[in-house]
Amino acid sequence: MIGARQYATLFSSGQHGRLYLECGEHARGKTFHIWILPTAEPIDHMPWASKDAVEVYGITGGQPGWTEEYGWLHRGKWEQDFAALVERRRAEIAADFARRAQETADAENAERQRVRRLLGAY
């Protein structure tokens, strides 16, 4: 849904320090929520089950399940922490893409050399 897809496709649900990211989807599209946890200690339950956690990114408008829009429910320092997570994740994805492209190029080059050697030895 609007404001959820861009983040839900970057991350898996889980805890990142004091931020808990929840990625999901339903019939109409992706969903994405962020909670602030009271401490950075790992939790063994979902954040909405804790009375001390606060949802800071979630549904801001529209009909839930149909036309919902996502955005910041509360503004604060966590926005910069989340932006850093996003940049780090995008860098990881770009590095992985570059690594796979290099592996593909190396494999194609090795195959070309193998063919050249075989044909040259005829």
Where are the alpha helices (H) located in the chain, listed in sequence order? 5-8, 78-120
For 116, other C-beta atoms within 10 Å of its C-beta total 10
Chain segment 43-63, per-residue pLDDT in tens: 888 888 888 899 999 999 988
Domain spans of the chain? 5-120
Instruction: For residue 30, give the nearest of 13, 15, 47, 8 by alpha carbon.
Output: 8
pLDDT band at 1 (very low <50, low <70, confident <90, very high): low
Question: What is this structure's pTM?
Answer: 0.80
Mean pLDDT (whole number) for 9-35: 92
Bridge partners (DSSP) of residue 14 are: 21
